[in-house]
Amino acid sequence: MNAPPKSLISTSASAQCAPIFKALQSRQLPLSRRAFSTTSQQRHGHVTPPKAGEELWVTFIDKDGEEHKFAVSAGDNLLDIAQANDLEMEGACGGSCACSTCHVIVEGEDHYDKMPEPEDDENDMLDLAFGLTETSRLGCQVKMTKELDGLVVRLPSMTRNLQASDFQ
Ligand code: FES
């Protein structure tokens, strides 16, 4: 039986990788010649324009006490509605219930009681929200329904985002 070619005989991993690294390094462009590229920013705020006669109304009260009333469609959530209308609602986690920057305070217990109960994930995030109240919800978790027509929510004066240090 013939012996395997020398190139297939394993030496040490670093010895095998060294030529590859060298080749890769030689292909690197100097900093001044590297292309600069960006990825288009993904914003939320994808809302469906309401059909005539099917509008639901929601009012946001901003941090300055100013009211902003919008006609929206059933199924749109409060985070998307706020962002589509350039209101100051960050939504740092992209609506995945992993932050509290979409915290809203529901004005009036009527509407609050008509909302489905918050899931455990939402409650966990709400516990960390700045200025938590009895009628606090996360905007990304509240979808507009016929029952919520006329809803009024207040944006808290501050929001608190989570950082790695919060879990230490
Ligand atoms: S956007 Fe992060 S929890 Fe709503």
pLDDT of residue 35: 65
Contacts of 144 (CB under 8 A, 6+ apart): 56, 58, 72, 73, 74, 75, 76, 77, 78, 81, 151
Model's pTM, two decimal places? 0.71
Q: Are 152 and 108 in contact (CB under 8 A)?
A: yes
Residue 45 lies in a domain: no
pLDDT of residue 99: 94
Residue 152 lies in a domain: yes
To test the pocket of ligand 1, the residue of 78, 83, 97, 104 to mutate (highest count of ligand atoms within 8 Å of its CB) is: 97
Alpha carbon separation from 42 to 35, 38, 45, 49, 91 (Å, rounded) = 22, 12, 10, 20, 12
Which residues in the chain show pLDDT less than 70?
A: 1-45, 161-168
pLDDT of residue 20: 55
Q: Is the CB of 138 under 6 A from ligand 1?
A: yes
pLDDT of residue 123: 97
pLDDT of residue 159: 76
Q: How far is the CA of 91 from the centre of ligand 1 (A)?
A: 5
Write out the residue range of the structural domain in which residue 86 sits.
56-167
Number of domains in the chain: 1
Residue of 71, 81, 98, 89 lying closest to 158 (CA atoms): 89
pLDDT of residue 23: 54
| CATH number where 149 lies | 3.10.20.30
Residue 151 lies in a domain: yes
pLDDT of residue 137: 98
Q: In the numeric block, which tokens belong to residue 131? A: 């200025």
